[in-house]
Structure 1
């Protein structure tokens, strides 16, 4: 026993035993960690979720393709420049062939094209309801599936309410359109009257540069207001021919372009060498510009109460979702064209109300601004022409007077 313990405790044996234990630790396989076993599952789950989300996004983009296309057509139509009517256009407008012309141009109407998504949807719902009821009638489905039909009495009671709702909605929108039109006509007539007062009260001999600059600012104000109320306008391009580059840079750097233009007009009036009464009369003409800005910004910032718009939209949607069920007993498969005609008609009325609720894209503002510019330019040219003509007449009259008064020999 002693010898065995002695052999085990010897340094050589201890070293060999330690090497054996160390080597055995190296040879032993390392335990497989628990976490990597779940990595493939996580990767598979993430790939599955990513693929499902990608498919969902593709489905959403596919479903939104037609509405986005219809909205694009409508917005391009909103940006299209409108024109003022002349005698030829009025003759075409009241022509007896206008109904045929309007019918043939239906496929190019932005109002009708913008209604394609809701009309297709409700017509498809009517077709599904008709197919379902036909399958029930032919016993193609089990008996516990009910036939989708209902009494038309609720529709007879609510039809006047829907008609009044659409009429009031359209009337409210037209009132906003009329208010915007009147505001712009005040701006146009005010600018022309302002320019006439400047040409009449400002002496060109002592205020040549300021008078010319003031008239340019007056002509540029309607353009600045138009760019302020029309989304996507290029004010730099519209004002580059009316203002000098240094003035234009100041206008572009301001946050409110029409008010900056009014400040140019006001400062120019203060620098003119005028009597106080004439200066006060010119400054009073700026009030029509402030009034025009106020009305335009009010119409832009405050729409028709949103609850009224939402109520009209919800009423129309619920009406046409249940219309095939109401008409099935009387019409059968005719519910499909009936729903199409009803949706196209009623949604068209509602769409017109929404379009004219924002009046400024519906007005021919570009031509109104050109009208102001041409009118003032013509007034300036006529002022010089008439002034020179009257000076010539006075000179001739004085020469005739001297000739007639000269004593004869």
Structure 2
């Protein structure tokens, strides 16, 4: 490695041969799979080998990935076959490959749920203390029931608001202080004051997304799921969601937009870009788009605080499969792509946030909109660790969809909020029980 050599314990070396011995058609019990403990591996050990990497791209990260792959290939004298799939096809395509005995070596994922039983434990290859190089929150998402390291968190996203600075200045409303976050009451009051002074159609908008709404729940101290259990506090959720429901009832938050997509995700970025709203809750992935598309001055703002501060995380993971023909090389590749220098180059080019503890502490130099990315980095520190576990929970996706359905019923006048949330709590409990069975 450029920072350190890949650690391979005796178990890791044995696993390579064990995989070969247990391959389909290999007779059991033949051959000696024992090897003396191997403490480290030199890049030259992998010369001439080939590695497959299944990947999806968010846009600017693709070239950064290709550049890093070229460095890895040069250093290790190997070939990395990069296969880029549409995100919508990723899970089904990789599952088909696993079923057909053609597992890729490494894959980029947004969650481990679909493949958890198929993933390679990286700890024997990277060392038991390797996880200490990463933030504790993201590590929760990649830790197996028995302490396995099932993937490496490779980048983070964080939900958070943006403001139209021109509209705030026109209204004479004070801009938020990145070092002293708004309360929810202060944010909504400022947004409504700007709307009244400037005549925008709306005061506040957010993406229609259970993930985005989970930001608000977390700020009021509750999660849909946590530690494999339903954990929604109905009273806290009612307090959290009442401002959103009230704004949509008054149409100061776009009601038709919310109801127009059914249960599907819908981004409100076009509403913000049209200058129809002064405050928009989305996430750091919008920074690159707004830098190119916005025709007004804008800025990232800190997440508002209620009982908690910070946002709600998402992110990507790099994992290897236990059926890989090159597990040690796969581990070396994952470590290389996530050492300090590589991860900094990747997240800087892509407007993502780091998962490495050293980068989170020291900061990342971004080529554009540094101040905005620094706002997200500061909010990352404020974000409770429990939100990382909640986002990674196998029941989160289904629970988030049920959350949106429950909100739809309230916004459409088909239910009141307490009743909808009580029903949601029951749905989450049933979903968790189903996944546990």
TM-score clears 0.5? no
The structure richer in helix per residue is: 1
Greater RCO structure (CA 8 Å; 6+ sep): 1
TM-score by length of 2: 0.25
Q: Which has the larger radius of gyration?
A: 1
The structure richer in strand per residue is: 2
